[in-house]
Amino acid sequence: AQKVTQAQTEISVVEKEDVTLDCVYETRDTTYYLFWYKQPPSGELVFLIRRNSFDEQNEISGRYSWNFQKSTSSFNFTITASQVVDSAVYFCALSQYGGSQGNLIFGKGTKLSVKP
Amino acid sequence: DAGVIQSPRHEVTEMGQEVTLRCKPISGHDYLFWYRQTMMRGLELLIYFNNNVPIDDSGMPEDRFSAKMPNASFSTLKIQPSEPRDSAVYFCASSPARGPGQPQHFGDGTRLSIL
């Protein structure tokens, strides 16, 4: 069975703190993709990053960085020097390669609140 | 470039009424997805289409739900008759061809309230 677990339901930090959002996944596939999406208070879902199962390189984009570790089935997301505008619900998602191609399986999300 | 366009943004209707949600995918995208988001169940895939053909509708909750894609630029999700438990945010998303590694681009969602 495929599953994505985001154990942190809510996180609250003060502006400029670093924060890491955890994501653990389960899959039997050897080829798969992992995604992070952001849902700000306005409600839309915004694509942030995609990673395939063969690429374990970490990625940095400005204040955002992602740590993919196949050995622990984790794909964690770190925001450095958080800002109030980072307040949102963040979803981790898994997509399998075969079978029901394109089906995204989402975690329950982590609500991040950044206080000024 | 225009993103995925959903209408209406908000819908409030009484139990038993027919509800139709609409979606225009990004031009050139071959895959279209309908999701439902609730507090209890999170984001769930209802159905998806490839080149206008329904591929997997196993997430459609019951026969009251139906979805169509008459052409590459338009899809509808219909609920008839609606019930209060259908209240949720419904998202449409699209992605280009070439497989599941392509990110899905979401519309702004339709917030549906059934009274």
Confidence of residue A1 (pLDDT cuts 50, 70, 90): confident
Distance from CA of A106 to the nearest CA of B (A): 6
Q: Which of B9, B30, B104 to mutate to test the interface with A (most CBs of A within 10 A)?
A: B104
Distance from CA of A70 to the nearest CA of B (A): 17
Distance from CA of A42 to the nearest CA of B (A): 9
Q: How many CB atoms lie within 10 A of CB A51?
A: 19
- The kind and range of the H/E element at A73 are none
Picking from A43, A50, A100, the nearest residue to B109 by CB comes out as A43
Structure confidence at residue B76 (pLDDT): 98
Structure confidence at residue B97 (pLDDT): 67
Burial of residue A99 (number of CB atoms within 10 Å: 0-12, 13-18, 19+)? exposed
Nearest to residue A24, comparing CAs of A10, A7, A47? A7
Kindly report, residue by residue over A42-63, the tens digit of the pLDDT. 999 999 998 888 888 888 889 9
Torsion of CA B54, B91, A9, A36, to 10 degrees: 70
Q: Report yes or no: A35 at the B interface, CB cutoff 8 Å.
A: yes
Kindly report, residue by residue over A87-111, the tens digit of the pLDDT. 999 999 998 765 455 678 899 999 9
Residue B84 sits at φ, ψ, to 5 deg, of -55, -35
Structure confidence at residue B62 (pLDDT): 85
Query: B108 and A104 in contact by Cβ < 8 A?
Result: no
Structure confidence at residue A111 (pLDDT): 97
Query: A108 and B42 in contact by Cβ < 8 A?
Result: yes
Structure confidence at residue A55 (pLDDT): 82
Structure confidence at residue B15 (pLDDT): 96
Q: Report yes or no: A76 at the B interface, CB cutoff 8 Å.
A: no
Q: Report yes or no: B70 at the A interface, CB cutoff 8 Å.
A: no
DSSP SS3 for A59: strand
Distance from CA of A112 to the nearest CA of B (A): 16
Q: What is the pLDDT along chain B (115 residues), one digit of tens a residue?
A: 689 999 999 999 999 999 999 999 999 998 899 999 999 999 999 999 989 999 889 899 889 999 999 999 999 999 999 999 999 999 999 988 656 677 889 999 999 999 9
Structure confidence at residue A10 (pLDDT): 97
What does the pLDDT average to over A67-90?
Answer: 95
Q: Report yes or no: B89 at the A interface, CB cutoff 8 Å.
A: yes
Tokens for A80? 């450095």
Structure confidence at residue A40 (pLDDT): 95
Query: Burial code of B47-74, b = ≥16 C-beta within 10 A, e = fewer?
Result: bbbbeeebbbeebbeeeebebebeebee
Torsion of CA A71, A75, A80, A86, to 10 degrees: -170
Query: A43 and B105 in contact by Cβ < 8 A?
Result: no
Picking from B50, B56, B103, the nearest residue to A35 by CB comes out as B103
Kindly report, residue by residue over A6-43, the tens digit of the pLDDT. 999 999 999 999 999 999 999 988 888 899 999 999 99
